[in-house]
Amino acid sequence: MQAAVVVFPGSNREVDAAKALEAAMGRPPEMVWHRDSELPKVDLIVVPGGFSYGDYLRCGAIAAHSPVLREVKARAKAGVAVLGICNGFQILTEAGLLPGVLLRNAGLGFVCRNVGLKVETSQSLFTSGYSQGQTLSIPVAHHDGNYFADGEMLDRLEDKGQIAFRYCDAAGGETSEANPNGSARNIAGVFNDTKNVLGLMPHPENAIEPLQGSTDGKALFKGIVEAFS
Amino acid sequence: MNKPVGAGTSEPAITPQIVAEHGLTAEEYERVLSIMGRVPSMTELGIFSVMWSEHCSYKSSRKWLRRLPTTGKVVIQGPGENAGVIDIGDGQAAIFKMESHNHPSFIEPYQGAATGVGGIMRDVFTMGARPIANLNALRFGAPDDPKTRHLLGGVVAGIGGYGNCMGVPTVGGEVNFHSAYNGNILVNAMTVGIADKNKIFYSKAAGVGNPVIYVGAKTGRDGIHGATMASAEFTEDSEEKRPTVQVGDPFTEKLLLEACLELMATDAIVAIQDMGAAGLTSSSVEMSSKGGLGIELELDRVPMRESGMTPYEIMLSESQERMLMVIKPEAREQARAVFEKWELDFAEIGRLTESGHLVLKMNGRVYADMPVAPLVEQAPVYERPHLPTPPAQAISSTSLPARDPITSLLKLMGSADLCSRRWVWEQYDHLVMGQTVVRPGGDAAVVRLERGPKGLALTTDCTPRYCQADPKTGGAQAVAESWRNLTAVGALPLAITDNMNFGNPQRPEIMGQFVGCVEGIREACLALDYPVVSGNVSLYNETNGKGILPTPAIGGVGVIDDVGKATTIAFKDAGEAIIVIGKTAGHLGCSLYLREIEGREEGAPPPVDLAAERAHGDFVRARIGARELTACHDLADGGLLVAVAEMALAGNIGASIALPKDVPAHAFCFGEDQGRYLVTAAKPKAESLLAAARAAGVPAAMLGETGGNALTLAGGNTISLNELRAAHEGFLPALMNG
């Protein structure tokens, strides 16, 4: 399997993502600079966390118009797997690759903590390493992770199985206390309608070894690698 | 032949009023005249003013700072560079420093704190290190002061806003509240970076003719006279000084970090210095003075954000995210390419000369031509009169009324200084880089190094009320507590950075506090083999003549060979033995119990026995290294029962605690005797642990047992963890969101 990590000025979890991929693939991914208008031939493109272009204007808005994103969009349309984490999720929604938007956290502040996540489906390239309904502990670290879409769109996403993860408590309850940012229907991650694009706010790349306090993120990367092997 | 300095410029002539406005005394101005041999130009006067400000010259503190131990087998670079450097083995060095941004943060909390974080990170990466962790030490006014909420909210958001964007985890720190900080908060930021030992960059310029390069953000009119502001007392109209607070752009700094590290991987750079306080002035003067060279700058070439800036403004601007470098002439194009890749300004603005003078030109006119050496070497040094703090009265614990310890515990756990800081550190990205092993909320943070399994333990500490009551004991205690906190996670403490926050040094009693604290720090550093490698002094922390509590914040760095061995404060399992290491006399003078429960802020602080401190710490560290302990917590503010409660809440496991007969219950539970740790061990190992302590001459006693979901004292008095947690976690959210 071949993977690439897109690097924008202001990306800051590209190394964390690369390490998680390397652990799963056995070799490092290619790092692609934002000005490159050509991507290597890969099976997976990761758009990592951070503050692309400073996140001035609106989170992810400028990155969505960068040269490399044109290429990411074309690849996604051709069926290549694209994973957007945190700022990457914001960028993919801004670029129109994923439905909905990410607003300022309901509490208005940045929030960094481990959250409970419920796996909504194991029927995807990205979540095949999990079982449906499984609860995970994965950290979040963001200021604008409040997922929003109108009711009609949310219903449609649910009907078509496009919800990947929801925030939950230890017992799996999708409570408002377990929701760190006010996201609609506790949504933490969504797929596009062909399920080859996933965006999520939590950071599975920071939960891959015991010293990080949780290894629940590992199965996401391992599952992708297995799907391509 | 150059025209005379100032000829043809529109700078005003120097008058006594202009001299006074620049904060120079009559004697200092006399010295300027004798160095220059003539009346200085306006630009030259501005340069003298900032270089000789308290902030840049350390003129009140220098004499005393010389007493601090700054050498040792791990020290690669002590104070005097951008940051201190220590050897952490395996060819690697840790580079770190703590610095204050107190005055700007009071005027504009978000930007003040943010640029404080940005400034200290530049100090570290300018030496070639990648920052791997940020910490801070914050003091605010009383929680009910009308400004506290606004200041706390702004400062925390500013620290997070800058550090989070930089992708450097903020892993630890301290936050305290006291009315003495109502008009003058303290914002001290610390950064720790890692570099290869043989790839450290210094600021000493070399090579006559070498180009002087300006990189980073453009220069604007912001922050002019920041260093002078930081060297004056606050008055009612200080908030009108808002325009002197700089505005930070962490995005640009992130680019600057990556660009600098990319260029540093080559051998293009001869010397590099960040533009912090006093901007282009201090960076150019320091680089040339360390190299014993002159420097000539063409100020027209400085990238500027606005038009019409004068040389005076360009030299005094404190615009952020800028660096000055001397590079090898043949590396020009290579260096330019790196900065252009990162879309940063890159301008060759001058060259090194053999004249020994700082020469500033703009539009063909000479605005300054001044000798560098005397500007630095003849900076005033004052031996200010100092009055020792009168000894505080000892307070006997038996003179205090006996009270129910559980009721007191609940109140203490929900008090401003002991409540959970979760509300603060959840706003900091403490996990980015993926190496945070021990997160905020414990004694010290632990971050793994890239190559692992080795890691660094990091902490910031100070107990200002002890320093106020007895500066020498307080200074020693701050150092000892940081040493103990590093030890409590299993690390070997190596060195410290100090951030000395005091009031007006021209008042003998304030200077006496400073002198006393330095003496205490000195003794503790010597006894614990724990040198000072960097630091910062912030004086004039007063508002309308009222000083803050003396606050020498200590940032400690230690190393742990295997982060997998690091202990945390959380109880791990039910049925384990709880053992207290160190002697509990029940010292309540100057304690939080006395303040929060009895409403008395008085008494002598607990004595600091440095020999015992060292013996107890070495014992605990060895036990952690041998994996004999399951949890460990330093005993500090609030004493023993507060520590038990913190460990129980962290592990969500209760405990039952025995009370001795020879010490009153309130003194035993809440006394703040120093040199103590609370540890847990599997029961079968408890006896051998106690025996080992006896053999090492370290006092150790069985205190109780973990288990259940409540804290229970001998005799049956009990409180549920849920009730404790509600009080402990509730205070800050209620204050900030209520």
Alpha helices per DSSP H over B265-404: 279-291, 311-316, 332-341, 372-377
Residues of B in contact with A54 (CB under 8 A): 165, 249-252
Which segments within B218-260 are labelled E, that is strand? none
Residue B425 CA to residue B704 CA, distance in Å, equals 31
**Inter-chain touch B160–A110, beta carbons under 8 Å:** yes
Note whether B148 and B141 are within 8 A (CB). yes
**Which pLDDT score, from 0 to 100, does residue B242 have?**
45
Pairwise CB contact (< 8 Å): B432 & A143: no
Whether B587 has a pLDDT exceeding 50, the answer reads: yes
**Chain A partners within 8 Å of B161 (Cβ):** 110
pTM for this structure?
Answer: 0.95
Percent of chain A, pLDDT > 70?
100
Chain B contact set for A15 (CB, 8 A): 433-434
Q: What was the pLDDT predicted at B221?
A: 85
Q: Please give the average per-residue pLDDT across B289-307, as a whole number.
A: 95
The answer, for A113 touching chain B at a CB cutoff of 8 Å, is yes
Instruction: State how far the Cα of A82 lies from the Cα of A196, in Å rounded to an integer.
Output: 6
Q: Do A13 and B563 touch (CB under 8 A)?
A: no
In eight-state DSSP terms, residue A214 is: B
Instruction: Say if residue B241's pLDDT is above 60.
Output: no
Predicted confidence at residue B232, as pLDDT, reads 60
Residue B8 has pLDDT above 90, yes or no: no
Nearest by CB: A109 against B157, B165, B439: B157
Query: Distance between CA atoms of B277 and B291, rounded to whole angstroms?
Result: 20
Task: Check CB contact under 8 Å for B439 and A206.
Answer: no
Other beta carbons within 10 Å of A150: 10
Summarize the confidence of residues B310-334 as an average pLDDT: 94
Indicate which residue of B22, B101, B616, B728 is catalytic.
B101
pLDDT in tens, B482-513: 999 999 999 999 999 999 999 999 999 999 99
B1 band by pLDDT with thresholds 50, 70 and 90: very low
Question: Which of A19, A109, A211 is the closest to B448 by Cβ?
Answer: A211
Query: Per-residue pLDDT for B293 more than 60?
Result: yes
For B345-366, how does the pLDDT look when each residue is reduced to its tens digit (9 = 90+)?
999 999 999 999 999 999 999 9
The pLDDT score that the predictor gives to residue A229 is: 83
Q: Considering only A42-51, B229-238, B308-317, which range has the smallest mean pLDDT? A: B229-238
Residues of B in contact with A51 (CB under 8 A): 164-165, 250-251, 254
Cβ within 8 Å, pair A9-B342: yes
Chain B residue closest in CA terms to A180: B426
Does residue B108 have a pLDDT over 90? yes
Q: Mean of the pLDDT values across residues A3-18?
A: 96
Which residues of chain A make contact with B489, given a CB cutoff of 8 A?
Answer: none
At residue B233 the predicted structure's pLDDT band, cuts being 50, 70 and 90, is low
B275-285 mean pLDDT: 90
**How confident is the model at residue B547, as a pLDDT?**
87
Average pLDDT over residues A206-216: 97
Query: Contact A9/B157, CB-based, under 8 Å?
Result: no
B728 is catalytic: no
Give yes or no for residue B321 having a pLDDT over 70.
yes
Directed axis angle between helix B250-264 and helix B148-166, to 10°? 40
Q: Is A205 in contact with B434 (Cβ distance < 8 A)? A: yes
Q: Is the pLDDT of residue B240 over 60?
A: no
Within 10 angstroms of residue B440's Cβ, the number of other Cβ atoms is 20
pLDDT in tens, A172-204: 999 999 999 999 999 999 999 999 999 999 999
Mean pLDDT over each residue of chain B, to the nearest integer: 94
Distance, in Å, from the CA atom of B199 to the CA atom of B240, rounded to the nearest integer, reads 44
Out of B55, B430, B616, B633, pick the active-site residue: B55
Of B537 and B6, more confident = B537
Note whether B620 and B677 are within 8 A (CB): yes
Q: State the pLDDT at residue B450.
A: 92
Question: Taking CA atoms, what residue in B is nearest to A51?
Answer: B165
Better pLDDT: B1 or A11: A11
Cis check: omega of the bond before B453, within 30 degrees of 0: yes
For residue B222, pLDDT over 90 is answered with no
Active site residues of A: 86, 203, 205
Question: CA nearest B161 in A: which residue?
Answer: A110
pLDDT attached to residue B101: 95
What pLDDT shows up at residue B410?
A: 98
- Which are the contacts of B269, defined by CB distance < 8 A and separation ≥ 6? B201, B263, B325, B326, B327, B328, B331, B335
Interface test with A, best of B344, B432, B436, B447 (most A CBs within 10 A): B432
Judged by phi (left if over 0) then psi (alpha if -120 to 50, else beta), residue A205 lies in alpha
Q: Count H helices and E strands in chain B, helices first.
A: 25, 28
Q: What are phi and psi of B291, to 5 degrees?
A: -90, -5
| Structure confidence by residue, pLDDT tens digits, B58-104 | 999 999 999 999 999 999 999 999 999 999 999 999 999 999 999 99
Touching check for A67 and chain B: CB below 8 Å?
no
CA distance A22 to A4: 11
pLDDT tens-digit series, residues A88-128:
999 999 999 999 999 999 999 999 999 999 999 999 999 99
Mean pLDDT in residue range B542-561: 94
pLDDT of residue B229: 53
pLDDT attached to residue B412? 98
Under an 8 A CB cutoff, do A12 and B252 touch?
no
Report the C-alpha gap between B373 and B380 in whole angstroms.
13
The whole-number pLDDT of residue B128 equals: 96
A9 at the B interface (CB within 8 A)?
yes
